[in-house]
Amino acid sequence: MAVETFTVVGMTCAHCVAAVSGELAKVDGVGKVDVDLTTGVVTLESITPIARDVVAAAVDDAGYELQP
């Protein structure tokens, strides 16, 4: 199992967290998504590591972006 963290910018409320979590949960191989609204840190647990561009695309689909 792989555990990775990313930082998402632009989230301000519980709806933001739900949108990001929902899009990331759709990514193949992702088993668990944890989003901390206060810090913007997203922790993904997956079968294998998920490519950053795949995570960035899912976060973009939710209307937010990964911190560079």
For 11-44, what is each residue's pLDDT tens digit? 999 999 999 999 999 999 999 999 999 999 999 9
DSSP character at residue 63? T
Percent of all residues in the chain with a pLDDT value above 70, rounded to a whole number? 100
For position 25, what pLDDT does the model report? 98
- Which CATH number do you get for residue 57? 3.30.70.100
Owning domain of residue 30: 2-66
Q: What's the chain's average pLDDT?
A: 97
Q: Looking at residues 42-58, what average pLDDT do you find?
A: 97
Q: Quick check: pTM over 0.85?
A: yes
